[in-house]
Structure 1
């Protein structure tokens, strides 16, 4: 009986491939959950999944079921954790009016984390993707505008572009599109930056 108990406790440890890590960026201690199938191959794709406002990395991981998809298709998943605002709510700094004084650089954090994971786990820098829900979807749009060359494609869910979060470079793209001075192809290129890929759907 004791041997059976030891075996039953040991097997989950053998198959454990999900861990929470700390990552330092701009003086802040950030967190993320990393998951990879046990048989993942070198140069495998990497998919980021971002939680919504007041959500968490653990919560979106439990909700979205991406780990099972990763097991079936052989890619790694990263669930980054946002920071907490003055009300104690987890968020991504995308330019909400009530976060006007916030200086957290979430774009820089995600870019640095992507580079770190690609290097550390031998993941594909050409096949790194980003998706997110609600506030995480808005971060997805922001990344598509700010750093289109870092990710292969973007898949925002239930989010929109928040112009207050854009830099001067991408604010110009946004304003020109509203005034009709950019073609759809130019806008698609600015948002996605990858030939042959569908741009993220937006109401611009």
Structure 2
């Protein structure tokens, strides 16, 4: 488990400034290129591209742990977007790419599109709603109000994109919200895989 704060960043992981949280969520939203690419590009080239980008991000993440010169460049460039624990762990972007690639490779295109959208749209909506209207704490920064907003967004995605039977997509939407509450690894890794596995097994 990563510590809750990092003196180098001078902030608490559980209480990011709203401006920084918004910047992170904008980057999160830009990740819509992943499901969009899976939708528009033929499956094999899409997997190749996603796998290549994932390898680049993972390689950069690992390299910064071992090369001091690269570490300095990395933090100068991305520090405004990093949480404190990401200085000692993979970044959220790398976890997102890894989970998206695994979903697409193992569960197939349709499941991967839905699972990544549940993370990108649902989780981002839940986080922002929790910051603004969240009152009932569930775990850490997670709130009941934020989770309900996230579930509503996920169900809207399921309704708009009938790639699988609605009940299967709805189950994936619910699991995406519930898995966010688990104190394991990183939301960006767990949510798509848990949601994707659920839809894969039910479809």
**Do the two structures share a fold, i.e. TM-score over 0.5?**
no
Q: TM-score, normalised by structure 2?
A: 0.30
Larger-Rg structure: 1
TM-score, scaled relative to structure 1: 0.30
Higher strand content, 1 or 2? 1
Q: Higher relative contact order at CA 8 Å, sep ≥6: structure 1 or structure 2?
A: 2
